[in-house]
Structure 1
C-alpha cells in the first residue's frame, strides 16, 4: 500500500474514532446532567457511582476505538489474527508500543498515526474526567459552605 493510501486509511480511522469519542462523551454528559442535584449522604454515594460509571464508560469508549483499529488490521491481513491485532492496537493506541509485534512496511504509517490518535483521545478523556470530578467538588463545596438560612423569629402577637 503506497503512502497516500496509508494516509487516507489513517485519516478515515482518525475521523471515525473522533466521532465515536464525541458520541461517547456527549452520551456520558447527558447521563451526568440528568442525574440532578442531591444532598448529604445520597449526594456522596451518587458522586462515587458517577465517577466509577464515568471511568468505566470512558474505558468502554477507548475499547471501541482500539477494537476498530484491531478489526482494520486483522480484516485487511495486516496482522495474522484478531488477537495479535488487538494486542498490537492496544499497545500502539496507548503509546506503550512494546515492539514485539510489528506492522509490515505497507501499514507502518497507519500504526504510527494510531499512536498519535490514541494520545489525543486519551488526553481528551482525561480533560473531560478531570472537569467532571472538579464540577462534583465545586457542587459539594457549595452545599457544605452555604450558610444556614436563619429562621424568622416567632411573632409574639400571632397565635401559635
Structure 2
C-alpha cells in the first residue's frame, strides 16, 4: 500500500515538474527570447530546437525517476531486455515518452503506473509544443504572396467595375 502511494505521488510530482518546466520554456520562448535579435526564419528554427531540448530534459527527468524508483525505492523491476545502465533507463523513458512502446523493455510493479503517467503527460506536452510552434510559425514565418491566375484577376476587375457603376 505504501509503495503504491509513493508511486502515485512520484508520478504526479513528475507530471507537475515536467509541465511546469515546459510552461517556463514556452513562456521564455514567447517573451524572453524576443530580446535576442534574430531573423524570423532563424527564430522559428531556434524555437523548434529549444522545444526539442525541453522534451529531452523531460525524458531525462523521467529516466532518473525510473532509476531511483527501481533501485532505491524498489517500486518494481523491468522485464525483457536488461535495464542496468543509465542509458537503459533513458531508452525506456524515450520509448514511453514518445508512446512508441516497442515492448523489448517493460515495467513491472508500480513502475507501470509511472510509465502510464509519463505517456499521458508527454502526449499533452508534445501536443502543446506542436500548437505553440504552429502559432509561432503563423506569426514569424515569411510567407510569399502567391500569384493569382490571370482569368481570376480579370474577373475581379470586371466585378469591381460593375460595383462602381
Instruction: Please state if 1:60 is matched with 2:53.
Output: yes
- Normalised by the size of structure 1, how large is the TM-score? 0.75
| Structure 1 counterpart of 2:13 | 12
Match of 2:97 among 89, 93, 100: 93
Q: Where do 5+ consecutive residues of structure 1 fail to align? A: 37-44, 145-160
**SS in structure 2 of the partner of residue 102 of structure 1:** strand
Of 38, 43, 49, the match for 2:42: 49
Q: Secondary structure of 1:105's match? A: coil
Choose between structure 1 and 2 for higher RCO, CA contacts under 8 A separated by at least 6 residues. 2
> How many corresponding residue pairs?
133
> In the alignment, what sits opposite 2:136?
132
Give the TM-score normalised by the residue count of structure 2.
0.73
Retained in 1: the 8 A contact 2:8–2:113? yes
User: In the alignment, which residue of structure 2 is the partner of 1:28?
Assistant: 29
| C-alpha distance in structure 2 between counterparts of 1:88 and 1:111, whole Å | 9
Q: Deviations over 1:116-140 (max 9, x none)?
A: 0110000010010000001124xx5
The whole-number CA distance in structure 2 between the counterparts of 1:3 and 1:73 is 15
